[in-house]
């Protein structure tokens, strides 16, 4: 079972690169959604069956695979965005940066004092690599939508780490985290809509009226 989980985690890390490297917004959103669905399947593989697990799995797949991508695409449609992602730095440099942080994630994870049963698994490097990818997207993209995708990828990274903890997060809290993410993205979608109406663009580098003189 663990080898299957590891293969899925490799897939998750590949999707990091797709998000980093693709120039089309719709493709980016779909990549983040697929990544979310893979993550939704993972708890089912590593833990034994329980109704709690079924509820969480369905919840995650519904939220990350369907509702959130729909919310973001809806915001894209309403804002009438062009296809390009418009990064501050080019695709090739971001991809190289992505590769570097992924490599560093593996080096870093080696040195962490992990519990013996987690030592040979990919969870920790995958979590760190995905988290850092999210950061990269957040900081290098101009468009508000891309920043939301970055936030989503960052949350995915944190979620991977949470898979190592089975009992710490009870259903209520896990559902709460998911709901907060959903509402957060919903509000972000509304704000993006207003940004595009106000500035006729969702280029966040235009959000620069507020600063110290």
Partner 1 sequence: MLTAAVLLPLVGALAAWIVPGNRLRPLVLPAVAIPHLVLTLALLAWTPPPSPQGWIHLDPLGKIVLLSISILFLVCAVYAVGYLAYRRDRSNRVLCMGMLACLSAMTLVTASQHLGLLWVAVETTTVTMAPLIYFNRNARSIEATWKYLLICSVGIALALLGLFFLAYATLVAQRDATLLLGPILASARELNPGWLHASFIFMLVGFGSKMGIAPLHSWKPDAYGEAPGLVGALLAGGLVNCAFLAILRVYQISLAAGGEYLFFQKALLAMGLLSMGFAAVFMARQADFKRMLAYSSVEHVGILAVALGLGKGALFGALFHLLNNGLTKGVLFLSSGNIHRSYNSKSTEVVRGALGRLPWSAGLFLAGFIAITGSPPFSPFVSEFTIVSSAFVEGRYLAGGLFLLFLAIVFIGMALTVLPLVMGEPPADAERTDYRDRLLTVGPPLALLGLILMLGVWLPEPFQRLLRDGAALLEARP
- Residues forming contacts to partner 1 in the complex (CB under 8 A) are 112-115, 131, 138, 144, 147, 151, 154-155, 158, 161-162, 164-170, 172-173, 176-177, 180, 183-184, 187-188, 190-191, 194-195, 198-199, 204, 207-210, 212-213
Residue number with CB closer to partner 1 (58 or 166): 166
Taking the C-alpha atoms of residue 35 and residue 33, their distance in angstroms, rounded to an integer, is: 5
N- to C-terminal Cα distance for the chain?
Answer: 58
Q: What angle do CA 48, 51, 54 make, to 5 degrees?
A: 80
Residue 92 CB, shortest distance to partner 1, in Å, is 26
Residue number with CB closer to partner 1 (80 or 117): 117
Residue 125 CB, shortest distance to partner 1, in Å, is 15
Residue number with CB closer to partner 1 (96 or 207): 207
Residue number with CB closer to partner 1 (92 or 213): 213
Residue 205 CB, shortest distance to partner 1, in Å, is 11
Listing DSSP states for 51-72 in one string gives HHHHHHHHHHIIIIIIIHHHHH
CB 64 within 8 A of CB 39: yes
Note the residue count of the chain.
213
Residue 64 CB, shortest distance to partner 1, in Å, is 14
Residue 141 CB, shortest distance to partner 1, in Å, is 12
CB 26 within 8 A of CB 73: yes
Task: Count each helix (H run) and each strand (E run) in the chain, helices first.
Answer: 8, 0
Residue number with CB closer to partner 1 (96 or 171): 171
């Amino acid at each position: 079972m663990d080898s299957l989980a590891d293969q899925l985690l490799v897939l998750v890390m590949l999707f990091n690169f797709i998000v980093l490297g693709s120039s089309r917004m719709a493709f980016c959103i779909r990549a983040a959604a697929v990544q979310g669905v893979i993550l939704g399947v993972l708890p089912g593989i590593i833990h034994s069956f329980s109704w709690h697990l079924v509820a969480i799995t369905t919840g995650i797949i519904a939220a990350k695979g369907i509702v959130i991508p729909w919310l973001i695409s809806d915001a894209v449609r309403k804002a009438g965005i062009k296809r390009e992602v418009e990064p501050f730095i080019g695709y090739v440099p971001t991809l190289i940066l992505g590769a570097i942080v992924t490599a560093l994630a593996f080096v870093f994870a080696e040195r962490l004092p992990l519990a013996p049963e987690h030592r040979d698994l990919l969870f920790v490097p995958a979590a760190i690599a995905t988290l850092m990818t999210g950061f990269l997207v957040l900081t290098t993209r101009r468009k508000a939508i891309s920043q939301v995708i970055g936030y989503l990828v960052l949350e995915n990274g944190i979620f991977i780490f949470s898979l190592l903890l089975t009992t710490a997060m009870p259903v209520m809290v896990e559902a709460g985290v998911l709901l907060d993410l959903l509402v957060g993205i919903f509000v972000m979608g509304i704000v993006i809509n207003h940004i595009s109406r106000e500035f006729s663009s969702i280029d966040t580098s235009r959000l620069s009226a507020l600063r110290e003189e």
